[in-house]
Amino acid sequence: MRLKSLVAAMAAVASLAPVASQAQSSGDNPWMLRVRAVDLLFQNGQSNALSTLNVKAQNEFIPEFDISYFFTKNIAAELVLTYPQQVNITAGSGNNNIGKISALPPSLLVQYHFTDLGAFKPYVGVGVNYTIFGNRQNFPALGNSVQVDQNSVGVVGQIGGDYMFDKNWGLNIDVKYATMSTNVNTVQGGTNLGKLTLNPWMPAVGVTYKF
């Protein structure tokens, strides 16, 4: 199901290719870049033993880089990238640090841009988030006896806007919400201890460059 969801999202973006010539024929370069500072706000949820232990991922700031391609003046695809983040994991009422997990959460979205408001250009988007939880998992407080699943596929929604100072440069404000979760298992035997549901809100501010 996870692979089918990812393939379906990529197919939806590919289906827009026949109308890409509309953007190109208008004389506008279809590429846009953004660099953002993102406040990663996890909406932690736990099941089974994780609920009893109050296991949580801690909020953090991350850098974000994205590339957008405009198929028309209104419709674009956005690939959202960052580098692998070391997310702190805590447990107990005192939020004691028990270790870290490495997470790389790229997203692919299809957006609709509103273009009749002058310099202000709001947009909405929806797509797929594919989070890779890498091998750099380290839980010394638990004797390194647990690990998480290697990936998570979920839906991501987005609302934001660019305020363009000129034809190239602008200010970007953006908010995304992604469904994201992972199972926590014992290293020996693979016993499932529960699911950690992360589902982050991602408010961000950044700089836009339109070619």
Number of domains in the chain: 1
CATH code assigned at 133? 2.40.160.20
pLDDT at 140: 80
More confident residue, 55 or 124: 124
| pLDDT tens-digit map of 147-181 | 888 899 999 999 999 999 999 999 999 999 999 99
Task: pLDDT band for 16, please (50, 70, 90 cuts).
Answer: very low
pLDDT at 4: 53
Task: pLDDT band for 36, please (50, 70, 90 cuts).
Answer: very high
The answer, yes or no, to whether residue 85 has pLDDT greater than 80, is yes
Contacts of residue 113, defined as CB under 8 A and 6 or more positions apart, other chains included, come to 70, 73, 74, 75, 76, 121, 122, 123
- When computed from its CA atoms, the radius of gyration of the chain, rounded to whole angstroms, is 19
Domain containing 140 equals: 2-210
Cα distances from 47 to residues 92, 98, 146, in angstroms, run: 14, 18, 15
